[in-house]
Chain A
Amino acid sequence: SQTIHQWPATLVQPVGSPLSLECTVEGTSNPNLYWYRQAAGRGLQLLFYSVGIGQISSEVPQNLSASRPQDRQFILSSKKLLLSDSGFYLCAWSGGSKKDTQYFGPGTRLTVL
């Protein structure tokens, strides 16, 4: 069966520090991968998605970037965090077909102070 992992689960970082969040998927190959941000009391905002290694699509201009160095690894990064980067970050995967369900990881709670 497929599983999706995210780490760390919780992170507290000062403003201006770098960020690296990691997401890995097991039990499937060539998945579509997604990064979402969920601000407090708000819905999900799609940040990036990837249909293959090295292929990243950005949905909104922002302080963040994403990379996919391996088939089942998706990384969310920032060189300098802003206060507004605080939130709950969710990684998801789908099978690649247009109607495939997205399955979500447990999330990372990021607090920027």
Chain B
Amino acid sequence: GQQVMQIPQYQHVQEGEDFTTYCNSSTTLSNIQWYKQRPGGHPVFLIQLVKSGEVKKQKRLTFQFGEAKKNSSLHITATQTTDVGTYFCAGSQGGSEKLVFGKGTKLTVNP
């Protein structure tokens, strides 16, 4: 079945450093979504990418979808303590509505 791998599992940075998490699928995705889960909270939608090679920005966050639609990345520039949490990618395949989530990258930021 469809698998979505996400690396790294953990990332610890100093405040102000950049951060990147990568997501890879075993199959071509029709779209990919990114979610953020704060400690003790629930996942919250950040963004969705649909087109091959698409790049979207939200302030300090940059999201990319690979040309083959099998991989994606989330890059945070100059991390802040408010960026702490676990970032998940989730993709769907073909005509399916089901989302398959990566295992997430837990980001901690040292002030």
Partners in one complex: no
Interface residues of A (CB under 8 A from B): none
Interface residues of B (CB under 8 A from A): none
